[in-house]
Amino acid sequence: MSSSEILRRLPATLLRRLLPQITLAGGPHETIAVRAPYTGLPIGTIPAGTVADLELAVQRARAAQTPWSKRTFADRARIFLRFHDLLLERQDEVLDLIQWETGKARRHAFEEILDTAIVTRYYARRAQKLLRPRRRKGALPLLTLTRELKSPVGVVGLIVPWNYPLNLAVTDAVPALMAGNAAVLKPDVQTSFTALWAVDLLRQAGLPPDVFSVVTGEGPLLGPALGERVDFMMFTGSTRTGRLVARQAAERLIGCSLELGGKNPMIVLAGADLDAAVYGAIQGCFASAGQVCVSIERIYVHQSIAERFLASLAERTRALKVGASLDYSMEMGSLTAERQLQRVEEHVRDALQKGAVLLAGGRRRPDLGPLFYEPTILASVTEQMQVYAEETFGPVVSVYPFSSEAEAVERANDTRYGLSASIWTRDAAHGARLAQEIRAGNVNVNEAYAAAWGSVDAPSGGRKESGMRARHGAEGILKFTETQTVAVQRLMPVGTPRWMDAAVHARWMTRLLKLLRQW
């Protein structure tokens, strides 16, 4: 599809409809141009938000949060279930928008539709049960009635990256909002239109405007300003920036949740289904051109099958359909930003100069578009190479043979990251046992990353430098709440009654504690 054909599908009326969703404090604003990775041509412009804009958004959110928190769970859920239905009905519009802003293939953009719908439905249906008051054992049996309550933290700040602009703009906001919070979203400048589309659809579904607001602009200015004003920070992005968010949250004594980088391993055991493992590697390494936090960047394959595995993987990788198309015909799209392409080129160039072997790819493809790079496989990678331990975040994977499972586990764990991992074996029970030895928050057996990520009733988070506190599951909504214990005492106090001698009370309490030893 040509550049003109791609941009012809971009309706200017859509972008004009989305811009009013941005909170602006008034006065003139500079603008930021957004360019399509497929073509390098401009999509449109967004306002360069200021601290004043952010201050206004947080003030409005605070005013809207209390009445929103007083709504019933059923009332809130109806809004998000309407959003769920509207998203599925209007998916083609946002699929185009995701592709214009990220350059990813449509099949990978559709993953955002799937996950956003699944997570939205989950919290709309489950939030009330997850946050219901719970009876706890009291200080004295029968005499102390104790309940644990959950209340919203207040205003949640969300900073989301460019690689999954729909999914990450919505799937953390939904549990925060279902818990009774308000939220302020700062999307990446490259993908703000997709985030605005999601917020616009939520408002069409019935969400009050000030409960979830958006400020667009540069992260170094707006990120710290957001962290200074909200009651909880949710950040997805680089480990370097995540440390800054965590430091600011610690200084203010507010909570934060971080999903950060990864150098995710895949282990292919000797008895694995070779065809399935190769297909899984393709999906895990090159989805969204490798620009996925859970993307596989290291493959460890047993030496008895390494030659056959590598030959099949290289052949399948070279045959991938790479290009720009607003349909499902392409298997991999473009990188999103020039800086990301430069990082990919630097890692591959450094590896080849130091002796790595190129098995597939390894070239920029300007004939396809300004930011295309071939899916790439490297062998004979050593510790001296940047690609060995640094996150590439592109369509590049390094492959290593191993001789024993103990070696594979040790090498898989030899990283400062711990986000996701993948194990391939015909013995699923053995794979599940081996998974417990991998120091990562998500481990998939006979799947690249989607099984753990898509199991939204279970938490998904990183260990080590891959983050702190999980999204999804109970933890994905409980983190946006504060806990309160309410204890009602009946008949007599826990301490010494006014009518009883303290020594007598001590003797009776000692006997009671002995009786209650097994309680």
pLDDT in tens, 82-141: 999 999 999 999 999 999 999 999 999 999 999 999 999 999 999 999 999 999 999 888
The structure tokens 């909200």 sit at 230
Which spans in 70-153 are helix H? 73-89, 91-102, 106-130
Q: What DSSP character marks residue 180?
A: T
**Per-residue pLDDT at 269:** 98
Residue 393, phi-psi category: left (phi > 0), alpha (psi -120 to 50), beta (remainder)? left
pLDDT beyond 90 at 497:
no
CA dist 311 and 306 (Å) reads 8
> Does residue 210 contact residue 177 with C-beta atoms inside 8 Å?
no
- Judged against a pLDDT cut of 80, whether residue 7 lies above it is answered with no
Nearest alpha carbon to residue 130 among 457, 462, 460, 486: 457
What pLDDT, in 10s, does the model give residues 227-240? 999 999 999 999 99
Give me the chain's average pLDDT, please.
Answer: 95
- Kindly write down the DSSP assignment for every residue of 352-388, as one continuous string: HHTT-EEEE---B-TTT-TT-B--EEEES--TTSHHH
- Per-residue pLDDT, averaged over 262-268, amounts to 98
Q: What value does the mean pLDDT take over residues 354-375?
A: 98
Q: What is the DSSP letter of 270?
A: T
**Predicted local distance difference test score (pLDDT) of residue 46:** 96
pLDDT of residue 3: 61
The DSSP bridge partners found for residue 56 are none
Q: How confident is residue 16, by pLDDT bands cut at 50, 70 and 90?
A: confident
Q: Residues with Cβ < 8 Å from 245, sequence gap 6 or more?
A: 159, 223, 227, 233, 235, 256, 258
Helix (H, G, I), strand (E, B) or coil at 429: helix
Q: Which of 478, 472, 423, 476 is nearest to 447 (CA)?
A: 423
Both structure tokens of 220? 């170094």
Residue 256: strand, helix, or coil: strand
Nearest Cα residue to 331 out of 341, 319, 322: 322
Crossing angle of the two packed helices 192-204 and 73-89, in degrees rounded to 10: 120
| 3-state DSSP assignment of residue 276 | helix
The backbone torsions φ and ψ at residue 442, rounded to the nearest 5 degrees and listed phi first, read -130, 125
Q: State the average pLDDT over residues 270-294.
A: 97
- Sequence-distant (6+) residues with CB within 8 A of 211 are 61, 64, 65, 68, 177, 182, 183
Query: Could you give all domains of the chain from N- to C-terminal order, each with its CATH number?
Result: 3-260+474-478 (3.40.605.10), 264-461 (3.40.309.10), 489-518 (no CATH)
**Structure tokens that stand for 260 in this block:** 């950060």
| Whole-number Å distance between alpha carbons of 238 and 262 | 9
pLDDT (average), residues 299-305: 98
Q: Please provide the DSSP assignment of 193-218 as one string.
A: HHHHHHHHHHHHTT--GGGEEE--S-
pTM of the predicted model as reported, rounded to 2 decimal places = 0.95
Q: What is the pLDDT of residues 473-483, one digit of tens each?
A: 999 999 999 99
Cα 356 from Cα 455, distance rounded (Å): 37
Q: What's the token pair of residue 64?
A: 């809207």
Is 469:461 a contact under the CB 8 Å cutoff?
A: yes
Q: Which of 338, 342, 320 is nearest to 329 (CA)?
A: 320
Q: How far is CA 296 from CA 35, 39, 511, in A?
A: 28, 27, 60
User: In the structure encoding, which two tokens stand for residue 330, read together?
Assistant: 């392409």
Q: Which two tokens stand for residue 163?
A: 């690689």
Which of 259, 331, 391, 465 is labelled catalytic? 259
CB 359 within 8 A of CB 379: yes
Terminal-residue alpha carbon distance, the chain: 71
Q: Which of 338-342, 352-356, 398-402, 497-501 has the lowest mean pLDDT?
A: 497-501
Parallel, antiparallel or unpaired: strands 155-159 and 212-214: unpaired
Is the pLDDT confidence value at 515 over 90? no
**If you average pLDDT over each of 25-29, 124-128, 140-144, which comes out highest?**
124-128
Burial class from Cβ neighbours inside 10 Å (0-12, 13-18, 19+) for residue 499 reads exposed
Residue 108 burial (CB count, 10 A): 24
pLDDT tens-digit map of 146-177: 999 999 999 999 999 999 999 999 999 999 99
Structure-model confidence comparison of residues 142 and 81, the more confident one: 81
Give the E-state strand segments of 237-314 in sequence order: 255-259, 264-268, 296-302
| Whole-number pLDDT of residue 405 | 97
Is residue 256 part of the annotated active site? The answer reads no
Highest mean pLDDT among 125-129, 488-492, 510-514: 125-129
Q: Is 330 exposed, middle or buried (0-12, 13-18, 19+ CB in 10 A)?
A: buried
Which residue is catalytic, options 293, 374, 447, 465? 293
CA–CA gap between residue 453 and residue 442 (Å, rounded):
8
For residues 20-32, give the mean pLDDT. Answer: 92
pLDDT interval class at 251 (50, 70, 90): very high
Asked whether 107 and 283 are in contact (CB, 8 A), the reply is no
Q: Give the per-residue pLDDT at 2.
A: 63
Q: Is 259 a catalytic residue?
A: yes
For residue 498, the model assigns a pLDDT of: 85
Q: Would you state the pLDDT for residue 4?
A: 62
